Structure 1
Amino acid sequence: MGWLDNDVALITGANSGIGLAVLRRFLQEGAKGVGALVRSDQGADALRQEFGNRVAVTVGDVRSASANEEAVAATLNAFGKLDTLVGNAGVWDYFASLRKFADGQQLADTFREVFEVNVMGYLLAAHAAAPVLRETRGSMIFTLSNSSFYAGGGGPVYVASKHACVGMIRQLAYELAPDVRVNGVAPGGTATPLKGPESLGKHDARLSEIPGFSDAVADAVPLGFMAKPEDHTGHYVLLASRTNSCATTANIIQSDGGWEVRGRPPRKA
C-alpha cells in the first residue's frame, strides 16, 4: 500500500521536470489517477504514451481560466473526484538583473509574463479546483523556490513572483480552512528543463543546460549537490497524504540543500 491509495491529483506543468517526477511518484504511491495540464500536444502525447488511461491530459495555457477549468473537469470525468491540486507550471527569468533590461517596456513585458505564469496561473488553478477540493476535504500544493525566501536565485522579477506565492499560500490556507489544506514545496537549484520568458528571448532555453550551473549550485549549498526532480517528490507525497499531514496547512517545505545555512565549512584535511 502507498501513501496515496485511491487518491486523484491534478498537476499543472506535468510533462517535464518536477511536475513529471511528482506525477510518477503519485502513481507509485497508489494514486487512482492523475490529471495533467500541459502546454503542448507533444507533451500530452508523451504522457499518454507512458501512462495510458492513468492520466487525463488537458492541453492549454495555465494563464487561461478556461484551460484550468477544463483540466479540473477532465480529471473529474476520468476519475470521479479530486483530492490534490499541484500547481507546478513556472517560468524563470535567467538572472535578468534590473540593468539587463533594454528599456522599461521590456521590463514591463517580462513582469507581466512571469507573474501571469508563476502567480496568476496558480490562482486560476486554485479557483478552478477549490469547489471540488472542498467536497473531498483535499489539499493544494504549490511549487515555490528558494527564491521565495532569499535573494540571488534569479532576477528581481522572478524573485518577486516567488515571494508573492508565499503570501498566496498563506492567504489561501486562511480562506479555505478547515476544508482544504494549502501548502508548498520550495526546491533549490534543480536539474530541470525550466524555461525562460519569451519577452527575454529565453523561451527555448533550459536551466539544466546552463554551462557550469550544476557545479555552481553544488558549491553554494551545504549538502554539496544539485538536486534532481525526483529528490523533491517525497515532500509532495507527504503534504498530499491525509494520514500523514492532516494537521499541516500554510506550510512550505524548503528542499534546497540547506540554503538557509549556506556557506560550507572548510574541508577537513
Structure 2
Amino acid sequence: MGWLDNQVVLVTGGGSGLGRAVTERFVAEGASVGIMDLDEDRLETVQSELGESVVTTAGDVTDIDDNKRAVAETVDAFGKLDTFVGNAGVFDQNAALPELAPDNLAESFTELFSVNVLGYMLGAKAALPELVETGGQMVFTASQASFGSDGGGVLYVPSKHAVAGLVRQLAFELAPTVRVNGVAPGYVPTDLSDTDALGGDRGVVSPDTFDPENHPLEMTPTAADYTGPYVLLASPENSSPMTGSIVRADLGRSVRGISEVNRSAVEYITDDTDT
C-alpha cells in the first residue's frame, strides 16, 4: 500500500531532474502519472522505464492548448485527475542586474516568467475543471528563493517569489474545493536550463557550485531526497487540512541565512564606474 494508491497526477517538467524524481516516487507510491515535457527523447526514456504507470505528452507549458492536451491525455489514459504538479522551470545562471545586457533583459525576463510563473497558471487553468470533479489538489515547485535572496539571480528569484504568491492566491480562490500548496526545495542537482536569451545551456545547477557546509544539515542532496513533501501534499489522507502552505525543504538554510555577502555586483558596478 502506498500513500497515492489509485491517485492520478499530472507533472510538468517530469522528464528530467526533480520532475523525473517526483514522477518515479509517485509511481512507487501507487499513482498513475501523466508527464508533460518539451523533450520527446526524455519522455520516451521515462515511458520505457515506467511503462503503463505513466502517459507522456510532449508540449510547452507556456501554451494553453498544450496544457489542455496534457490534461486530456492523462484523463483519457487513467479516467480522472486528482493532482496537478506545476514543476517545469528555467534558470537565470545567477545573473545579477549589472551583468545583464540591456538589449536582452526584457527578452530574458519574459521568457523566464513565461515558464516559471505563467506556465504554472496555464497548467492550473487547464487542470482546474478535472480537479473540481475530484476535489483534488495542486502542488507547485517553489524554492528557497521564494523567501529570500541568493537562490538564483535577479530574474529567477522574483519568479519564485511570484510562485509563493500564486500558491496563496489560488488557495484562497479555490477553497474549499481544490487545495493548493507548494514545496520549496533548496539546492537540487538537476539539468535545469538557462533561458534561451542567456544561452539556453543545460546542467547549470552543478554540484561543483554547492557547499554543504553553508547549510545546517551539511548534506549534498539528490533530487529524490526532495520528493517526500510532494507525496505528502498529493495525498488527501495525509494533508487534508493543508492549503496555502509551502513546505520548506532547504537543508536548514532558512535558519542560518547567507553566510557570506556576495559582493560581485558591487564590485562590478565599481569597476564599471572606474572605466
Query: SS of 2:155's equivalent?
Result: helix
**Which residue matches 1:62?**
61
Which TM-score applies when normalising by structure 2?
Answer: 0.91
Unaligned runs of at least 5 residues, structure 2 = 260-275
**Which residue matches 2:224?**
230
The answer on whether the counterparts of 1:191 and 1:207 sit within 8 Å (CA) in structure 2 is no
Q: Distance in 2 between matches of 1:126 and 1:264?
A: 33
User: Match of 2:24, as an amino acid?
Assistant: R
**Which residue matches 2:16?**
16
The answer on whether the counterparts of 2:194 and 2:202 sit within 8 Å (CA) in structure 1 is yes
Query: SS of 2:76's equivalent?
Result: helix
Q: Distance in 1 between matches of 2:214 and 2:231?
A: 27
Q: Distance in 2 between matches of 1:50 and 1:185?
A: 26
Shift of residue 76, structure 1, vs aligned partner = 0.4
2:246 aligns with one of 219, 234, 252: 252
Alignment map for 1:25-40 (pairs within 5 Å): 25-31=25-31, 33-40=32-39
**Which residue matches 1:242?**
236
User: Match of 1:137, as an amino acid?
Assistant: G
The answer on whether the counterparts of 2:15 and 2:39 sit within 8 Å (CA) in structure 1 is no
How many residue pairs match? The answer is: 259
Unaligned runs of at least 5 residues, structure 1 = none
Alignment map for 1:117-156 (pairs within 5 Å): 117-156=115-154
Q: Distance in 2 between matches of 1:101 and 1:264?
A: 23
User: Match of 1:27, as an amino acid?
Assistant: V
The answer on whether the counterparts of 1:84 and 1:240 sit within 8 Å (CA) in structure 2 is yes
The answer on whether the counterparts of 2:141 and 2:184 sit within 8 Å (CA) in structure 1 is yes
Shift of residue 264, structure 1, vs aligned partner = 9.9
The alignment's C-alpha RMSD in Å is 1.4
**Which residue matches 2:271?**
none
Which TM-score applies when normalising by structure 1?
Answer: 0.93
Q: Distance in 2 between matches of 1:170 and 1:43?
A: 32
C-alpha change, 1:100 and 1:35, in structure 2 (3 Å) is: same
The answer on whether the counterparts of 1:221 and 1:264 sit within 8 Å (CA) in structure 2 is no
